[in-house]
Amino acid sequence: MLNIKDLHVKLEEEDKQILKGVNLSVEAGKVHAIMGPNGSGKSTLSYVLSGRDGYEVTGGTAHLGDVDLLDIDPEERAAAGLFLAFQYPVEIPGVGNMTFLRTAVNAQRKARGEEEMSAAEFLKVVRAKAKDAEDRRRHAQAPRQRRLLGR
């Protein structure tokens, strides 16, 4: 699924090599954790894969399925299925969560040639998902609560 081959990356601004030949293959459905000391390039790898400015790829390749990640813009990588969770999610003052989520969802739908969702449709979907999540949370808690109550 995700194939990284001999990836070399340096900082754009200064002459500092961060990644010196990273090889990694992640199959579909597998979870991998990348661990390492501070400054070993974990964040750099994730940023380079998702397309953040400031890095220069000096060698190697990265593919998600058949898609050459290094060749396309961040939003196209997102549409291809890459998702980067931020350590500290960015707050954008004045932009409501719903507006932001809908903009993101619609951008993805557009990229896939699907029809965009109206505000009302989107609200319905979010409510259903929220209810689903709430049900699951309750369900997961139930045995624990029973234990606490000594039943």
Partner 1 sequence: MAAPAEKRTSLDERLDVIAMPEGGWSQTARVDALARVRASGLPDRRDEYWKYTRPDTLVQAVAPSAAVFDVEEAPVFGTVDRLKIVFVDGVYDADASDDLTLEGVRIERLADTSADIHWARDLYGTLEKNGQTPVLRPLASLNTAFATDGVLLHVTGAVSKPIALIYLHESETSDAILHHVVKVDAGASVTVLENGPAAARFNNVMEVDVADGAKFHHVRAQGRDHERRAVTHIFARLGSESTFKSFTLTANGVMTRNECIIELTGDDSHATVAGACVGDGEFHHDDTIFVTHDAVNCESRQVFKKVLRNGATGVFQGKILVKAGAQKTDGYQISQSLLLDGDSQFLAKPELEIYADDVACSHGSTSGAIDDTALFYLRSRGVPQAEATDLLTLSFLAEAVEEIEGEELRDEINARLVSWLERRRG
The answer to whether the beta carbons of residues 63 and 69 sit under 8 Å apart is: yes
- To the nearest whole angstrom, how small is the minimum distance from the Cβ of residue 149 to partner 1? 42
Taking the least distance from each CB to partner 1, the nearer of 90 and 140 is 90
Taking the least distance from each CB to partner 1, the nearer of 103 and 141 is 103
Tell me the two tokens of residue 128: 């259903």
- To the nearest whole angstrom, how small is the minimum distance from the Cβ of residue 51 to partner 1? 7
Binding region for partner 1 (CB under 8 A): 50-53, 73-75, 77-79, 83-84, 86, 89-90, 92-95, 100, 103-104, 107-108, 111
Taking the least distance from each CB to partner 1, the nearer of 20 and 108 is 108
Alpha helices (H) in the chain, listed in sequence order: 42-50, 74-80, 97-111, 119-148
Q: How far is 147 from 150, CA to CA, in rounded Å? A: 5
Largest CA distance in the chain: 64
